[in-house]
Chain A
C-alpha cells in the first residue's frame, strides 16, 4: 500500500492511501484524541496535546513535539462531519509556515473490509500549495531520527 499524490487543480493536493481495516476504525483513528496520539506525526514527532471538538463549528488543536523538544502547533475548525465517510475541516499552523488556511476534505470508502482514505488539501493560492508540497515538512531532519528509532527498537527487542 503506497500513498498516491495528485494535483487535481492548481491550488489542491490530493493524498490517497488504503488501509487494511474497516472504515469506522479508520474514522475513529482520524478523530479520537487518544487514538490520534498513537500515530499522528512523522517519525520523531509525537502529539503531546490533542483536543477535538467533533461537531460542525467545533475546533481541533494539535501540538507536536519533535527532536530537541521543538514544538509545533496547528489547529482549525470542523466544517462538515459525516461519520464514518466524510470529514471537512480547516487547518492553519501557529508559526504560519504557509500563509492562510488550508481546507481539508477527507473521504473514506470501504470495500471488502479495506478502507481508502482520499484527502484533498485546498490552499489559498497555487504558490502556497507549491510551497507546501516542496517542503518535506521537516521530514528530512526526521529521517535520521526515524532510522535511529528503528535501530533502537530492534536492539531493545533483541536484548
Chain B
C-alpha cells in the first residue's frame, strides 16, 4: 500500500468524530443529516469530516443528488489494520518473553 494512502487513512482515523462516523456507517448507509444528528455539530462541520473520510477512500457518496448517502469503504481500513499487524506481532513476541520471566519472578517472591 502506498505511503500517501496510509498517511491519508491514519490522518482521517486520528479524529474521534470521524471514527464515530465510520462506526455508525458500519450498520448501513446514512445521509449527512442522519450522521449529524447524534453529534452536537453543524451540518457543514460534519460535511468537512466527510470530505476528509472521502479523500482517504474510507467512505463513498451515493449518486442520488438529493440524498448523497455515505457508505463505508472497508478497503483502506483493512490495509491500515494489516499494516499495524506487523508491528503488533513484533510486540507480541517481546511480551511473550516478558510473560515467561514474570512467571519465574512470581515464583521467586
Type the 1/0 row for A116-159, where 1 means its CB is closer than 8 Å to any CB of B. Answer: 00000000001100101111110100100010000000000000
B93 x A139 contact (CB < 8 A)? yes
Known: A130-B7, A136-B87. A42 touches B94 (CB 8 A): yes
Of B20-28, B42-50, B95-103, which binds chain A?
Answer: B95-103
B13 CB-CB contact with A under 8 Å: yes
B99 x A15 contact (CB < 8 A)? no
Task: Give Cα A132 to B90, complex, Å.
Answer: 11
Of A33-41, A50-58, A67-75, A96-104, which binds chain B?
Answer: A33-41
Which of chain A's residues have a CB closer than 8 A to the CB of B105? Answer: 21, 25, 28-29, 35
A5 x B84 contact (CB < 8 A)? yes
A17 x B10 contact (CB < 8 A)? no
Q: Min CB distance, B66 to chain A, in Å?
A: 35
Known: A3-B95, A126-B11, A134-B83. A20 touches B102 (CB 8 A): yes
Which of chain A's residues have a CB closer than 8 A to the CB of B98? Answer: 19, 26, 29, 39
Task: Please report the total number of A residues contacting B with Cβ < 8 Å.
Answer: 38
The answer, among A3, A19, A21, for a CB contact under 8 Å with B92, is: A3
Interface size class of B (residues with CB under 8 A): 20 to 34
Known: A43-B93, A130-B6. A35 touches B87 (CB 8 A): no
Of A6-14, A78-86, A87-95, which binds chain B?
Answer: A6-14
* Interchain Cβ contacts under 8 Å between A and B, 25 examples: A4-B88, A5-B88, A8-B14, A10-B10, A10-B14, A17-B92, A17-B95, A19-B98, A20-B99, A21-B102, A25-B102, A25-B106, A29-B105, A39-B97, A41-B94, A41-B97, A127-B3, A130-B6, A133-B83, A134-B83, A135-B86, A136-B86, A136-B87, A142-B93, A146-B93
Which A positions have Cβ atoms within 8 angstroms of B? 1-5, 7-10, 13, 15, 17, 19-21, 25-26, 28-29, 35, 38-43, 126-127, 130, 132-137, 139, 142, 146
Which B positions have Cβ atoms within 8 angstroms of A? 3, 6-7, 10-11, 13-14, 83-84, 86-95, 97-103, 105-106, 109
